[in-house]
Every structure is written in structure tokens, then in C-alpha cells.
Amino acid sequence: MFDASYSFLLAVAATFFVAGLVKGVTGMGLPTVAMGVLGALISPVAAATLLVVPSFVTNVWQLLAGPGILSLARRFWPMMLAIVAGTLLGSAWLVSGDTRLTTAALGAALVIYSGYALLARPFPIAERQERWLSPIVGMLTGVATGCTGVFVIPAVPYLQALGLGKNDLVQALGLSFTVSTIALAAGLGAQGIFQAETLAFSVIAVVPALLGMWVGQWLRGRVGAQAFRRGFLFCLFLLGAEMALRPVF
């Protein structure tokens, strides 16, 4: 599926370290960074298979970081079920290998989201709207996950708009990302993509991802949250622009 040269392994390790660092500080960003960088080196489906194990381990770590798991699961179970259904539907497109349009669309969505988040105030969502929005957001997130291997749009801006506390938001993101990772693994497995070599490299990638996440959590207590948020959103904007323009070049 890919050439396991020394330079490639070094690139994978560096990518997952940086992705883990971003996740450690912000609570998100690992799949976005990993798919964005690795997608320029290998096929999207190969990048997605490398992503599965480190994403699962770091997301479970994030999910277990607080006491609110059961209450969040009760609140968001319709969204989680919809994520699973959408991911299983979209994974066939990822496996097909023709992901140029979906990658470009995701890049455009990242540009719009990061640009809006940098320039505008967050939009609130009322509790009565949450009941019917959650399944829709879950389905759209699942389809985007299945097609691109990235779990960000529209789950992240939606959860941020609900006005959750800091710890609850980090755990809610962890719950969404964990479910998305499991569903993506199931979708890829159903398509016969996983191989022993692929899983081995994915397991190895856990080490730099966890190291980066640990460093990121250490930095989170020392870097201003607002300053890092702006920096992260700016990087997300640049990454989205690169993904959106990739089919052109």
C-alpha cells in the first residue's frame, strides 16, 4: 500500500507527533493534520488506515479525561448513531480512490469554518434546535468522515456552538472522534482494506502521536488559550486552502 522507506517512516512519525501536539493543546486536529499531510505523500485510503489506531487511542484518552462520559453519551447518542451510519455509507467512496472532489470540498469547508471562527462570534444553538440538529450533523459528519477520513466538519463547529463547558466540550469532541474512528475502521474493514502491514504501521504511529499529545497538554497550561486558538485556526485555514486547491495543481 506504501513504500516503507526510512524517509517515509520519518515523515509519518513527524506528522503524528505534530498532529498529537495540536490535539493535546486544542482537543482536536489529529485527523485533520494527519490526513492533510499524509494525503500529499500517499493515497487517501492508505492515510486513513494509518490514522485509525493512533486516532482511536488518543481519542479514548481524551474521552476518559473527565467524569461526564455517561451524561454526554445520553445527550448525544442520536448524533453518534448517525455518525456511524454516515461513515459506513461514505467509506465506499474513500476506498474507490477517487476522492479529489470530496477532499477539495472538505478543504473549502475548513477554509470557511476557520475563517468564520477567526472573524466572527460563535453562533449559539438553542436546546430545542439540538434535538433535530444532532442527527443531521451526525449524518453529515459521518459521510464526510467516510469520504475523506477527517472528522471535523460539521461536528466541531456544532459542538462548539452548544455552549458546553471547557471540560465537557473536550470530552464531547473525544466521544464524537472515538465513534467516528470506530465507524471508519469498520467501514474500511468491510471493504477489505486492512492488512497486517497496515495495522502494524498504524500501531507504531501511536507512539509519536501520544508523545505529541503529552507535549501538547503540557503546552496548554503555558500558552494562552486564545493565542493558540487563533494560531490553530490560521493553520487550519492554510491546510484547508491546500486541500481545496490540490486538484488544481
8 A C-beta contact, residue 88 and residue 190: yes
Can you give the pTM of this predicted structure? 0.80
Burial of 62 (0-12, 13-18, 19+ CB in 10 A): buried
Question: Per-domain residue ranges for the chain?
Answer: 6-248
DSSP 40: T
How confident is the model over 32-73, as pLDDT tens digits?
788 778 877 777 777 888 888 998 998 888 888 767 788 899
Euclidean distance between CA atoms 20 and 55, whole angstroms:
9
Average pLDDT over residues 195-212: 85
8 A C-beta contact, residue 20 and residue 121: no
Euclidean distance between CA atoms 8 and 134, whole angstroms:
39
- Give the model's pLDDT for residue 101: 72
Percent of the chain with pLDDT over 70: 87
Between the CA of residue 24 and those of 59, 97, 191, 229, what are the distances in Å? 10, 31, 32, 12
Euclidean distance between CA atoms 230 and 228, whole angstroms:
5
Other C-beta atoms closer than 10 Å to the C-beta of 28 total 26
Q: At what angle do helices 127-148 and 166-190 cross, to 10 degrees?
A: 40
Average pLDDT over residues 103-128: 76
Cell of 201: 504501521
User: Which residues neighbour 63 within 8 Å (Cβ) at sequence distance 6 or greater?
Assistant: 69, 171, 174, 175, 178
How confident is the model over 214-248, as pLDDT tens digits?
998 888 777 666 776 677 778 778 877 877 887 66
Euclidean distance between CA atoms 241 and 107, whole angstroms:
6
- Give the model's pLDDT for residue 173: 87
DSSP 176-232: HHHHHHHHHHHHHHHTT---HHHHHHHHHTHHHHHHHHHHHHHHHTTS-HHHHHHHH
How confident is the model over 151-171, as pLDDT tens digits?
778 888 888 888 787 778 888
